[in-house]
Structure formats: C-alpha cells, structure tokens
Chain A
C-alpha cells in the first residue's frame, strides 16, 4: 500500500514538474501536438479518475477507519471531562423510569411481553401495599379495586391494571399514540404511578418524568480526567489526527474532477486547496510534550464547607510554541468548583508560563487530585496530543471531632453491660439448669437439689453482657442516588452534577458511633460495598479516632459510586463471620432496592439484632416526576416489609438536623429489643 502511494507521489511530483516546466518554456512541447480524441480523452479520464478517487476517499471516511486507528479514537471520542462537577448521581426511581422507557412498540408482537408483565406485577405489588395502608383495606379488597378500576378516577391509570398488557387500539388511537411516540402501556404506567402516589398520600407527582431523570438517560459525562484516556494507555498520552484534512481533500478531489469534466479551470484550481491542506497535515509534527504542570492549594486541610483556592500553572519547557494548549485540572470527584473554572486555554511560547485559579468547596473526605489533562494541538488543529500530567496534590477534610455536640449522655458505665444476652452464665435472671461440671462456682450449685437427690447440678442465669454494635453503611452503587431536593440553595449549578448522593447522609449518620463512645459500648464499622471496609467493634479514644478517620477517608465512603456489584447475602455472611453472633447491627441504607432489604433480613437471619436507619432520598420539595413517586412508594413498601418481620426501621428525612436523628436513632440503636 505504501509503495503504491510512494509511486503515486512520485508520478504526481514528476507530472506537476513537467507541467510547470512546459508553462515556463512552451517551446519544449512544440513537437507534440494533440488533436481530436487524443486531446480530450486524457483530460476526461483524469477528471473521472479524480471524481472516483474522491468517492472512494469519502466511502473510506464513512465506512470507518483502519481498526488500529479507530480503537484509540473511539475511546477518546466521548465527552470531554468536566471535573468541576460531581459525578452525576441518578435520581431516585431512575431504574423504574428506564424500565418504562424500555417498553417498546416491537414487544407487542411477542406472544408474552415479558418486561410488560414484570412491570405490571411490580407495580401491582406496590399498589396493593400502598392502597391497603392508605385505606385500611384488605389485600383482596384492593385486588378487586385494581381489577375493576374503581380505585382511581383517572381512566389511564385504572386501565393499566384492568386493561391488557398489549392494549388494542382503534386506528385513531393508534395514530395518536404514534404521534406521541410512546406506547399506550407505558403512558398508562406513568399515570398509574401518579394516581397511586396521590391516592396514598405520598405527595403529588406529575405523570411526566422529571428533568433530572431525563438527563440521567443520557450518557454519563466523563467527570474524571483519569478516566478520559483509553485504558491500558501505558504512557498516559494519546496522539491523534483529525479527519478535517481528509474531508478537505475529498472535497477538493471531487470539485477538481468536476472542474476537469465540465472544463471549468476555476473549479479545477480549487483542488489546490486540497493539496495545501493535505501537505500541511503531512508536514506538521505532533505538538511537543514538553509541558510541566504545578498545582498549589491554599489550604490542604480545610474544614467542611471551607473554600479552597487551587492554582494551576503550566509552563512550556520545550523550544517550540504551543499554538493551542487546553488544560483541564483533575478536580477530585467530591469537590465542586464554586468560583472560576478548572479549565483553560492559551497559546504558550517557549519558556512562558500561564496559570489559572479556581475555588472549590471542601467536603468530608480525603481528596487526591487526578492528573491534569493537557491537550495540545498544532495551529490548524489537525494533530492533537492528549497527555495526563501528574501532580500529586491532596486535600484532606475531616469533620470536627465531635459532630454531635448535643447532650452527652451521663452514663459512665464501667459495668460488664446492661443488656441481657441469651448466653447462660452468671447473672440474676434464671436461664437453665444443667449437670455439674468440675470448676463451676459453688455459689451456682443447686444445693437444695443436692440435698434432695444427692446429685450436683448447676443453675445458669442469663448472662449480662456488654452490647456490641456494628454500624453497617450501605455504600453499594445502588445507594448512590441523588437527593432530589433543592434545599442546598445551589440554584446556579444545581442541575446535573452537583447533587449529593444520599449515601453521604448515611455516612454522616454513621457518625452516631460517637454516641456509643460515652455509653461505653464497643462499636465497629463496616461498609456494604465492593470496596471492602471493616473495623471490628472496640472501645476507647484511639478506636474512636480510627473510626472517624475511616468514615472520613476510606474510599468505600467516597464520592464516586463504586464499580461492580455486591452480592448482598455473601457480603452479609462475610461480615457475620467476623463479628460475634450477638453483635447488634445498625444498618444505614436508603433502601433504594430490594437487595438492601435482603441484606437487613440476612443479618436478622444470622441472629443479629438489627435496626435500620434509612435516609430518605425523595424529599418532596421540588417538582417530582412519576419515577420519584414510584421510588417513594417502593421504599415505603420496603420499610413496611422490614417492620413486618420485626426489624425496627426508622425513616429519616435528611433535611432534618442530625441531632434530632441521632436522638431518634439512639432509641433504636441502643435500647435492647
């Protein structure tokens, strides 16, 4: 291929040279005179050839590049990183909205539209639960209402349960549905959720999806610079060339060919633009990699809510001018930019320096900056080099030592413990009688029985043990749902990426461990997350410092949702194996899916006393779509399922102050059940 190309290049150069020569001194060609067909045919052939080549070039461009080329480009053709925002957390109910959205026109042809049936069954369960609670009716009564549609006066909503999975439509109804672009079944589902939500007092929602969930359907924007370049790019840099030169060349060939065929010299001359641009693209080198980046932060250990100024400076240490340099700083996922921008663009002469300053707001956690992404291009922008430049910087932000400065409980217990355990041993309350074994204390020998029967037996009492508490935070990817309220007042950048995942509220609530410190209860911490985090129950100042440290800085409680799934049952078994069987579990979870209920019930099944503290992600303060209504109803149902099996589950609106919650939470967490 490259040999033919070289040949072509030589032919082109030689032929062009001959042409120029002939123009310069026309006398050379005087002997050769072309007439008739010999005069027009070559011109026509060249013209047609040019048009054909242009078409081929275009087809090549459309049909995809060579595999090696396309691979790198595909990986980086995604959205440019925008690290000034937090990762986008899905609003509650996104999964449901996606299921409704996935109801297609084509599955109506299936004999058994599986996803329609599942959707309706799920919604029916939720409806039964919600309506029987709201009206105090028995489930069978509710079933009847659902079947005859008498539970609501919205015809679409009642038709969802009463009608067919694949509604039969009149021709005009079919046309209307086509115009709307949504299958009637999906429309009915949305209306059914809205009516249910209204009926059960879960708040008013609109049948349309909220704006947040609509953005969640779009592709996730790349937020971290470290995720931008394709994986496995060892050198952490990537060179590429744009298709611009190729496009111009194809156009030039086509126009030039047209000019030749139509005998318009002006058109043919336009082909020269193609030569110029291709020649430029060939000749220009990929811009140099000689840049250094430095980053400075005004305060590397800020308090929560402090503003930290970040100064990023870039310097051209090479000896060529960088005509087009764009730089994106690797703002860590948890930090949001409140002033300025972490991006900038400039042209840099050799030895010059440019800098940008922006301000981030500190939140809890250990935030290591990602490498800065430096994109350099040549002046025309046909060649590009993208490189990640490492500059180690970290901002560490720990919440104050005692966030719950409420009433310190005046209970300086040094006793073995207050709570009655099921283990037999010394104590007050009778547990059982068993045969005497050598070594049993004489005070526990049943002397009366000895007098009566002559046999030794030992009385066991309920042993009083110290309660041990393990706080388990649900930090699976499913728990990273956005809190859908505008209460934090960030109207400016509130859309899309600046929300807070509700899991952060859970982590803040887990700080209630410090309550147990003054109560003298050994307390531990674990995360239900692919990023394993476990701290066995313990006591004392050191242990509590460690707890706070882990809560503040462990990646399991980070701001970016973890990759990968967690098998809730397996994770629970793992935690169970590491702690004593009578350890009380305080499970902090938004209950955003059924697996969280499974986890709580598994703890219960392993014999742990369990209580659930559930921060509510669906605060009723903003315009809510149907998916939010479904999320509330489904979560309500999960809470009820937990309570039905005797697991105390407290529902917590995170906009309430933490102190109120822990007072409430403490009643669940430390009183023995």
Chain B
C-alpha cells in the first residue's frame, strides 16, 4: 500500500475483461432505463459489478448481474419494444459471460502471464453466439408481427419451451 499505485487484488479479473463487462453492463442499464425502478436496478447492478470487478469479489458479481437481468425483465413487463429488449438482454449476457471468464482467468492463470488471446477469443465467440440468439429472436419478432395467427404463436410457444427443456439436459 506504500506504493504510489494502489494494487488491484489478485482475484480481480484482467483489466480488459473487466472493462468490456462494465461497458456492456452500462449499455444494458441505459437501454432498460424506461422507468425509475428499472433505472435504479440497472444502476445498482452496474455499481455492484464495478465493485466486484475492482475488488475481485466474485460473490458480488452474480447478484449484480441478477439486478441487471431484473431491470431487463421489468423493462419488458413495462412494455419496452422487443428489439431493445433483445439488445439489453444480449448485453447483460455478454457482461455476465465476460466477467465470469475474467474471474476464472484471475483464479487459474493469475496476473502475470498475458491473457489477451483467450480473452479476445472468448469475448468474440460469446458475442457471436448471443448475437445469433438475438438475431433469431428479432427475426421471429419481425415475421410474427405481420401475421397474427394465434395457432402459429401457440405452436411456437410450445416448441420453444419443449426445446429449452430438452436441450438443457445433459446425459
């Protein structure tokens, strides 16, 4: 502590991952700020993420993400249009993934070796996968808004729920 630069603790994720996660989380908080409670949840979430990333406390990270996810849900219930909602969820997921990955790096690899490559590869890949999800959602949204067939909607609902449950199971 006598050093001029305050040292970040060893359990804190690398700066790049932390920065990326914070930017994504801030983006999500801005998008979901449709009402005062949603804004409050978003801001609280971003603050706890910032604290968790700065001081290297992983147990604060997940609640922060949960707050942001809560902000997204609240915004959705309050009627935020699907494209924005999808974007916000995408950003929250990305923040969650990148942050968790950063914590994993801090735990397993430490500060000294360069981790730029795996951070980049992981960040880009997860952005890609979540973007695929968002695009799929947007595509369905765009096509359904025209038709208004209740049966089609019902079929999609059943399909989505059944797929979700079938796919999540591991052997």
Measured CB to CB, the residues of A under 8 A from B are 2, 5-6, 8-9, 11-20, 22-23, 26, 29, 32, 34, 39, 42-43, 46-47, 49-50, 53, 57, 80, 82, 241, 244-246, 248-253, 255-260, 262, 264-282, 323-326, 328, 340-341, 343-347, 356, 375, 379-381
19 A-B contacts, Cβ less than 8 Å apart? A19-B155, A19-B156, A23-B147, A46-B154, A53-B161, A245-B168, A248-B93, A266-B82, A266-B141, A270-B85, A271-B164, A272-B137, A281-B167, A344-B114, A346-B118, A379-B121, A380-B125, A380-B129, A381-B104
> Residue on A with the closest CB to B93?
A273
Given A253-B164, A271-B164, decide whether A26 and B108 contact each other with a Cβ distance below 8 A: no
Contact A345–B165 (Cβ < 8 Å): no
Contacting pair B104 A15 (CB below 8 A): no
Residues of chain A within 8 A of B153, CB atoms compared: 19, 43
Interface centre among A14, A42, A265 (most CB of B within 10 A): A265
Contact B141 A265 (CB under 8 A): yes
Most buried by A among B126, B133, B137, B143: B133
Contact yes or no, A272 B118, CB < 8 A? no
* B130 within 8 A of partner (CB): yes
**Nearest neighbor of A258 in chain B, beta-carbon distance:** B73
Q: Look across to chain A and name the residue whose beta carbon is closest to the beta carbon of B90.
A: A273
CB contact under 8 A between A267 and B161, given known A23-B152, A80-B107: no
**Given the interface contacts A11-B162, A253-B164, A272-B160, does A343 sit within 8 Å of B77 by beta carbon?**
no
Q: Chain B nearest CB: distance from A593 CB in Å?
A: 33
| Besides the known contacts A49-B161, A276-B136, A277-B130, 6 further A-B residue pairs in the complex with CB atoms under 8 A apart | A12-B161, A43-B157, A53-B165, A272-B137, A379-B125, A381-B122
Contact A26 B113 (CB under 8 A): no
* Docked-complex contact A46 and B161, CB < 8 angstroms: yes
Q: Are B77 and A262 in contact (CB under 8 A)?
A: yes
- Once the chains are docked, how many angstroms separate the CA of A13 from the CA of B171? 19
Does B165 contact A8, Cβ atoms closer than 8 Å? yes
- Across the interface, B109 reaches (CB within 8 A) one of A34, A47, A343, A347, namely A343
How many angstroms between the C-alpha atoms of A323 and B128 in the bound complex? 14
Q: Which of B93, B114, B122 contacts A379 (CB 8 A)?
A: B122
- CB pair A323–B121 under 8 Å, yes or no, is yes
Is B112 touching A341 in the complex (CB atoms < 8 A)?
yes
Which residue of A46, A244, A268, A345 contacts B158 across the interface (Cβ within 8 Å)? A46
By a CB distance below 8 angstroms, the chain A residues around B161 are 12, 46, 49-50, 53, 253, 256-257, 271
Q: A273-B89, A380-B126 are in contact. Are A18 and B150 (CB under 8 A)?
A: no
Cα distance A268–B161 in the bound complex, in angstroms: 10
User: Chain B residues near A340 (CB, 8 Å)?
Assistant: 112
A494: min CB distance to chain B, Å: 15
Q: In chain B, residues 59-90, which have Cβ atoms closer than 8 Å to a Cβ of chain A?
A: 69, 72-73, 76-77, 79-82, 85-86, 89-90
Across chains A and B, the number of contacting residue pairs, with CB separation under 8 Å, is: 243
Question: Closest CB of chain A to B44's CB: distance in Å?
Answer: 18
Assembly CA distance A375 to B156 (angstroms): 40
Q: Would A252 and B164 count as touching, CB distance under 8 A?
A: yes
Give the chain B neighbours of A13 by CB distance below 8 A: 159, 163
B121–A275 CB distance below 8 A: no
Closest Cβ–Cβ distance, residue B149 to chain A (whole Å)? 5
**Nearest Cβ distance between residue A28 and chain B, in whole angstroms?**
9
**A39 (CB) vs chain B CBs: closest residue:** B150
Residue of B whose beta carbon sits closest to that of A354:
B117
By beta carbon, the residue of chain A nearest B89 is A270
- Secondary structure call for the A interface: helix
B23 to chain A, nearest CB (A): 19
Secondary structure at chain B's binding surface: helix, strand, loop or mixed? Answer: helix
**Complex Cα–Cα for A255 and B77 (A):** 10
Which B residues are within 8 Å of any A CB, using their own CB? 69, 72-73, 76-77, 79-82, 85-86, 89-90, 93, 97, 100-101, 104-105, 107-110, 112-115, 117-118, 121-122, 125-126, 129-130, 132-134, 136-138, 140-141, 143-144, 147, 149-171
Would you give the shortest CB distance from B104 to chain A, in whole angstroms? 7
A6–B132 Cα gap in the complex (Å)? 25
With a 10 A CB-CB cut-off, give which of B110, B132, B166 has the most chain A CB atoms: B166
Which of B86, B104, B118 contacts A347 (CB under 8 A)?
B118
A319–B138 Cα gap in the complex (Å)?
35
Minimum CB–CB distance from B110 to chain A (whole Å) comes to: 6
* A9 with B166: CB separation less than 8 A: yes
Task: Say whether A275 contacts B163, CB under 8 Å.
Answer: yes
Once the chains bind, are B110 and A26 in contact (CB under 8 Å)? no
B157 contact from A6, A264, A268, Cβ within 8 A:
A268
Find out whether the CB atom of A269 lies under 8 angstroms from the CB atom of B85. Answer: yes
By Cβ-Cβ distance, the 3 closest A-B pairs, closest first, are A16-B159, A12-B162, A276-B133
When the two chains form their complex, are residues B122 and A265 in contact, meaning their CB atoms are under 8 A apart? Answer: no
A258 to B73, CA, bound (A): 9
Task: List chain A residues, Cβ under 8 A from B108.
Answer: 80, 326, 328, 343, 345, 375
- Chain B, Cβ-Cβ closest to A49: B161
**Of the candidates B81, B157, B169, which one forms a contact with A266 in the assembled complex, judged by CB atoms under 8 Å apart?**
B81
Q: How far is the CB of B64 from chain A (nearest CB, A)?
A: 15
Q: A19-B156, A267-B85, A344-B109 are in contact. Are A274 and B77 (CB under 8 A)?
A: no
Assuming A16-B156, A53-B161, A381-B122, is B82 touching A249 (CB within 8 A)? no
Contact A26–B147 (Cβ < 8 Å): yes
Chain A minimum-CB-distance residue to B154: A42
Contact for A343 among B89, B110, B156, B159, CB less than 8 A: B110
- In the complex the two chains form, what is the Cα distance from A345 to B117 in whole Å? 8
Instruction: Report chain B residues within 8 Å CB of A271.
Output: 160-161, 164
What's the Cα separation between A42 and B158 when bound, in Å? 9
**Which one of A11, A260, A277, A381 contacts B133 once the chains associate, using CB atoms below 8 Å?**
A277
CB distance from B131 to the nearest CB of A (A): 9
Is the beta-carbon distance between B151 and A346 smaller than 8 angstroms?
Answer: no
Q: Are B168 and A249 in contact (CB under 8 A)?
A: yes
Using Cβ atoms and an 8 Å threshold, which residues of chain A touch B160?
A: 12, 16, 256, 268, 271-272, 275
- A53: chain B residues within 8 A (beta carbon): 161, 164-165
